[in-house]
Chain A
């Protein structure tokens, strides 16, 4: 092709021998894929990958599970949820345990399926556990809109939806650069990431999810970090545009309003979540069932919070691999297959020995 053959992404990664670099993959799906593909095995020692807080299951606080269990067992609601939340420990029990005690817990592929379930089972009160970031929130909005159009009075959502912008600011300094979550950016666009680089000194690259996309983004980040200027690169342009999805932004704006939100480990971050607006309040499960304020109590030995902030590695936690395993998880990071602890436990055994 050219006279001087360019280095491949892999060569750039493997041949790096500069100063120590800390790169945070914000997104849990990236964490999962990086382990599944064995990418950590080809990294030189000076490059540290930190698993960030981008797993909706991991950042969802204990109190949310307690609310879901209360809805299922005390209010006899049918709880519809993504599969990942089933085994997350609450203060007293998980949804899996609640199910073995007779709670109706349905695993769904989409929030829209939960609306369909409500339509077909008019005698049941159906609550969808609405977790997730900007990628997933539009699906919950579409579900609520459908329920309203169909005049359903037996459907509501329990919101714990999160938004990323203030989380990035909170995480500033935890890493030299971020691998941004491609599917969040598919919705939000890239303007915020550009601003973070320009105005806040936070560098990063939007990253896709195939092997070549992750390797390419890593190579780009390594190359740009060596150049020493703050940067932003969209390495996933086949899915992510500068504007993002206008229609998704519009429906979120129409149905949801910003609120303070509790992140497991990070605490309450102002303006880092969304909840239903007044016009849709009848679909808010907390209003619908008049739920009391719930304060969840995480297991004090669990260090998921620090893991999520990149302040400690899963293996630094005393209960990791001992009291806390994927079979008997103590913290949410051990439950979700996207969780850093679970990924370290399932895939990391080779490195730990």
Chain B
């Protein structure tokens, strides 16, 4: 299962208004580490379907979202809870490290 993409037009409904926490993976085609972390996030998503939603934002296609959330390094993963950023993880990490960072949302 691959995480679905959200865009500037769907971000509000799919992320900010979501009843569940949503992890947004800010990425781009040209970012090697993003390609490495993407399948790991897909795994975490499929193992935690009832706890955490995971979506992707392509920063090339959605520069305003990247600017609004002050992205200066990707992959950048932000967990949104009730419309607010509850956690930020920057850089590709192994699965166990990501799970540890996200423990509060996966419990």
Say if A and B assemble together. no
Q: Which residues of A contact B (CB under 8 A)?
A: none
Q: Which residues of B contact A (CB under 8 A)?
A: none
